[in-house]
A and B are shown apart, each in its own frame.
Chain A
């Protein structure tokens, strides 16, 4: 049996168990007496000096029955601002740090953005009931366990609040990707397709609309056409492999893939089918888009094709780069109308565009990563991304969008986003507009 000793000498030790143990004790004693290696010029002390964590036990495996991120990651959190709330943090929104979701299309559950209208309800799953009634042949009440007995499916979809980016209609205001685009996140959702349950209940022919209502303080309700309910809507109880988080509607929320976040009713307790829409507060007073004509667009459900460069961005600049370094520009594209087919990149403020590459999973109504590698020349430039989906829709310029819908619609802003990269690598939120 051979072994490397502290002095780097390979020694032959006796093959017996006793000899082996004795040898270990000897080398342990020698290690204690060892003088640390001296740092030579050009050495990285983080390499040459054995780190603290290599010289002691770590924490035991039973310390955190439910694990936490490293304490060094404490700045990777949702953030709020009073400017985007009603003066309190109950009817408010906590933004996802999308600059820290470095790759892939899944947001950890603790970072998923949270828009709530009356605080986050805490529901006892044993007392949870879901009622489906109205224009159905056979109305039902389900317990959570009964619901979960339906055959399940899992799908990766983003959820985006239609007010994402709404502070930017008149001009850039936040020098931050978290606050310009953080009202969205993405997860793998587990649940049952609504069409499976409706197949058993039988929709009456005059059923044209479905009211979905939550059981929280706001009792939020929205009207959804049966065309969506029967296509890909789901009742979901799982989020990235665990139960829905309370902020996402534990124990059950409605998932209407690609549609306004608000329609994905949380803490869902009731689905009612009817022949006419209900005109709830959140589809009249809010979630309608006032146009320059003074009239407002109502019942506009899908989140249009959109994209944002996540690296670089104001929070993750290129200040560490040297002129001539190779670097990847990457970001997220998504569409509620289908699958991303193209993402184009501009390095000159939107004058010329080249097609970037998609990477990773390319799924319907899902975040999709794009990538484009350049050599950093260390000169000021304005970079932008522009996505297209298989419904045939492309992101507009700011002038194109504002020219049509004005600046007071609040919702559904999907114009091209631009970052100014300064020669020192700093990144600023800028608009290209008249």
Chain B
């Protein structure tokens, strides 16, 4: 058993596709796929580190995972369909979900403006270089439609990381619906046809989609690391150099800061003094829950939700009375989904959080 495994490893080590050899200071250095030097273990040393040269074979720990355990955790989705579950949805269903759970951060139709990533638009901007903003240069806009190479990545990302305050809460059908919606607002096509409100996007359809910028990336990695290695091993490809210029190297003039950014939190200081006394605050359970579940929206002025601590924004709302605020928080109000999307919270807990938010905004 050990021998065959060791053989497997050796085979792979030998198969390192792109180990080149360069000569520096008379010593031959091996390079890995990232152009990094591979330091051999010799004389009980790895570079400057002493190492124990004894065999580490046979440490075998742990147990074999069950099929169900692998299924629970293996949620990654590859462009070739590996890991993409069955399910289906339409853009119309997705729009409803998006308006309820996503638009408050990503803007209507994913057009941004709320401080979080813009999800649509940007086609034809990738060659833009914002060198001279004063001349009206525009930056490139990298969105799902203008930039993302694979539709499977949309499904995977939404499923495991969205909605931001409570990920892993959507069903596969809901994720298909949101994916369909985002493809449709980006005018991505399925087999040459527009994705309409009622076009069904399922596993098979998603795998047939070719994103507009699919060919926008290099080096190619579909056949292994050889092309990456070749690319990285030539520093000229990414603007680095291989010569140390020592004299007459002047390359430009002194450019000073034009618009200084200095909104640092806390403000910059290197003074050694005693901190100003702060009152001791105890953090309530409601505040902790607020910070974990609600602050992503209610702490961000760009979202449009009343920011906790902003007395002006809360004055009129507080006048409506707690019962109205409780009802709105539990049932949802305007862009806010019921319980802010955190359906695991009990009504009583939501009321406690509302109490905290009101107290902190008086």
A416-434 near B? 1/0 per residue, CB < 8 Å:
0010100000001111111
Q: A320: CB under 8 A from chain B?
A: no
Instruction: Determine the distance from Cα of A162 to Cα of B173 in the docked complex, in whole angstroms.
Output: 35
Interface residues of B in 37-93 (CB under 8 A from A): 37-39, 47-49, 51-52, 56-65, 69-70, 73-80, 82
User: Which residues of A have CB within 8 Å of B164?
Assistant: 90-91, 118, 217
CA distance A398 to B56 in the complex (A): 47
Q: Are A302 and B35 in contact (CB under 8 A)?
A: yes
Q: Does B12 contact A (CB under 8 A)?
A: yes
Residues of B within 8 Å of A293, CB to CB, are 127
User: Which one of A32-40, A242-250, A331-339 contacts B?
Assistant: A331-339
- Residues of chain B within 8 A of A240, CB atoms compared: none
Would you call B351 an interface residue if the criterion is a C-beta within 8 Å of the partner chain's C-beta atoms?
Answer: no
Residue of B nearest to A354 (CB): B246
Known: A153-B51, A276-B222. A392 touches B264 (CB 8 A): no
- Contact in complex: A218, B161 (CB < 8 Å): yes
Indicate if the CB atoms of A211 and B76 lie closer than 8 Å: yes
- CB pair A228–B33 under 8 Å, yes or no, is yes
The one of A205, A219, A226, A298 that contacts B221, using a Cβ cutoff of 8 Å: A298
B192 within 8 A of A: no
Encode contact with A along B9-37: 1 for CB under 8 Å, 0 otherwise.
10111011100001010000101111111
Residues of B within 8 A of A (CB): 4-6, 8-9, 11-13, 15-17, 22, 24, 29, 31-39, 47-49, 51-52, 56-65, 69-70, 73-80, 82, 114-117, 126-131, 133, 139-140, 142, 144, 147-150, 152-153, 156-157, 160-161, 164, 167-168, 216-219, 221-222, 224-225, 228, 231-232, 235-266, 268-275, 292, 295-296, 299-300, 302-303
| CA gap between A280 and B232 in the complex, in Å | 21
Does A376 reach chain B (CB closer than 8 Å)? no
Interface of B is mostly: loop
- Interface contact B265-A80, CB-CB below 8 Å: yes
Asked if A225 contacts B240 (CB within 8 A), the reply is no
Q: Choose the segment among A45-53, A58-66, A171-179 that binds chain B (4+ C-beta atoms closer than 8 Å).
A: A171-179
List residues 391-421 of chain A with CB under 8 A from any CB of chain B.
391-408, 412, 414-415, 418, 420
A196 at the interface (CB under 8 A from B): yes
Inter-subunit contact A394/B240 (CB<8 Å):
yes
| Segment with Cβ contacts to B, from A6-14, A20-28, A104-112, A135-143 | A135-143
In the assembled complex, A198 has its CB within 8 A of some CB on chain B: yes
Which residue on A lies nearest to B246, using beta carbons?
A353
Asked whether B64 lies within 8 Å of A138 as measured between CB atoms, the reply is yes
List the A residue with the shortest CB-CB distance to B267. Answer: A79
A227 contacts B61, C-beta separation under 8 Å: no
Instruction: Write out the residue numbers on chain A whose beta carbons fall within 8 Å of the beta carbon of B157.
Output: 280-281, 285
Query: For chain A residues 362-415, which have a beta carbon within 8 Å of chain B?
Result: 362-365, 382, 386, 388, 390-408, 412, 414-415
Min distance, Cβ B301 to any Cβ of chain A, angstroms: 8
A81–B168 CA distance with the chains assembled, in angstroms: 29
With A87-B115, A361-B48 as given contacts, are A404 and B238 in contact (CB-CB < 8 Å)? yes
Which residues of chain A from 310 to 359 have any CB-CB distance to chain B below 8 Å in the complex? 315-316, 336-339, 342, 344, 346, 349-354
* Chain B positions within 8 Å of A117 at CB level: 161
List 9 tightest A-B contacts by C-beta distance, closest first. A87-B115, A404-B239, A202-B5, A401-B239, A338-B37, A219-B160, A142-B62, A294-B127, A140-B62
A404–B237 CA distance with the chains assembled, in angstroms: 7
Taking the nearest CB of chain A, how far is it from the CB of B327, in angstroms? 27
Question: Which chain B residues lie closer than 8 Å to A75 at the CB level?
Answer: 266, 269-272
Residues of A within 8 Å of B160, CB to CB, are 218-219, 221
Closest partner residue, chain A, to B160 (CB atom): A219
- What are 22 inter-chain pairs, A to B, with CB distance below 8 A? A73-B272, A82-B263, A87-B114, A133-B70, A139-B64, A140-B61, A155-B49, A199-B5, A213-B76, A219-B161, A230-B9, A258-B36, A274-B78, A276-B80, A279-B149, A285-B144, A285-B153, A338-B36, A352-B249, A365-B36, A391-B36, A404-B237
Interface flags for A166-189 (1: CB within 8 Å of B; 0: not) read 010011111110110000000000
| Contact of A315 with B61 in the complex, beta carbons under 8 Å | no
Q: Are A397 and B252 in contact (CB under 8 A)?
A: yes
Given contacts A72-B274, A86-B117, contact A351 B258 (CB under 8 A): no
Q: Does A146 contact B (CB under 8 A)?
A: yes
Cα–Cα, bound, A139→B73 (Å): 13
Give every chain A residue within 8 A of B130 (Cβ-Cβ): 170, 407-408
CB distance A176 to B59 under 8 Å? Answer: no
CA distance A395 to B140 in the complex (A): 26
Least Cβ–Cβ distance between B36 and chain A, in angstroms: 4
Could you tell me the distance between the alpha carbons of A176 and B46 in the complex, rounded to whole angstroms? 37
Known: A338-B29, A394-B244. 9 other contacts (CB 8 A): A79-B264, A140-B64, A176-B262, A199-B9, A231-B38, A292-B127, A361-B48, A392-B24, A405-B238
Task: Evaluate contact between A284 and B4: CB separation under 8 angstroms.
Answer: no
For residues 263 through 310 of chain A, which have their beta carbon under 8 Å from a beta carbon of chain B? 269-270, 272, 274, 276-281, 284-285, 288-290, 292-302, 304-305
Contact B47 A364 (CB under 8 A): yes
Chain A residues with Cβ under 8 A from B12's Cβ? 203, 205, 207, 226, 230
Cβ A175 vs Cβ B260 within 8 A: yes
Residues B116 and A337 in contact, CB atoms below 8 Å apart? no
Determine the residue in chain A with the shortest Cβ distance to B75.
A219
**Min distance, Cβ B101 to any Cβ of chain A, angstroms:** 15
Query: Which residues of chain A have C-beta atoms less than 8 A from B140's C-beta?
Result: 290, 408
| Neighbour of A428 across the interface among B35, B58, B256, B274, CB < 8 A | B256
Residues of B within 8 A of A133 (CB): 65, 70, 74
Measured in the bound complex, the distance between the Cα atoms of B273 and A305 in whole Å is 37
Picked from B62, B168, B263, the residue with its CB within 8 Å of the CB of A83 is: B263
Specify the chain A residue showing the minimal Cβ separation from B152. Answer: A279
